[in-house]
Amino acid sequence: MSEILIPLGYQLGVGGVGGFLVGYAIKKVIKIMAVILGLFLLSLAYLGYTGMIDVNYDKLEKATSGLVGMIGQAPLLTPIVSHIPFAASFIVGFALGFKKG
């Protein structure tokens, strides 16, 4: 019985801690990227308003929608799903880390 519980406990522990750390880090990175993107778009809007540059918003929208579609198609979770106990604890840890971050 212990030969089953010890590896299972190890997977749950490592998955939970790893998920927490990844979730925390990803949320921090997303916040930083959102601030940078917001400042960039604000500066574009200001420069367009003052007439210093001419912003083609249709091309900008097409470029960003293509990038978002490409990111959404990436199979990031396939390796995680192959190990159910690890994946379950990773997801719980990720959610806690994301909420805490």
Q: What would the pLDDT profile of 11-28 be if each residue is shown by its tens digit?
A: 777 777 888 888 888 888
The answer to whether position 79 is within a domain reads no
Q: What is the pLDDT of residue 18?
A: 81
Q: What angle do CA 66, 70, 76 make, to 5 degrees?
A: 160
Residue from 7, 37, 12, 8 nearest 93 by CA? 12
Per-residue pLDDT tens digits for 49-92 = 888 988 787 887 787 777 666 555 556 555 554 556 666 777 77
Q: Looking at the domain assignment, is residue 78 inside a domain?
A: no
> In which domain, by residue range, is 17 found?
2-70+84-100
In tens, the pLDDT along 31-54 reads: 899 889 888 888 888 888 888 988
Residue 31 in any domain: the answer is yes
pTM metric for this prediction = 0.52
Distance of CA 53 to the CA centre of its chain: 32
| pLDDT value of residue 36 | 92
pLDDT of residue 23: 84
Query: Is residue 24 within 8 Å of residue 100, measured between CB atoms?
Result: yes
Residue at 77 is within a domain: no
Overall domain count for the chain: 1
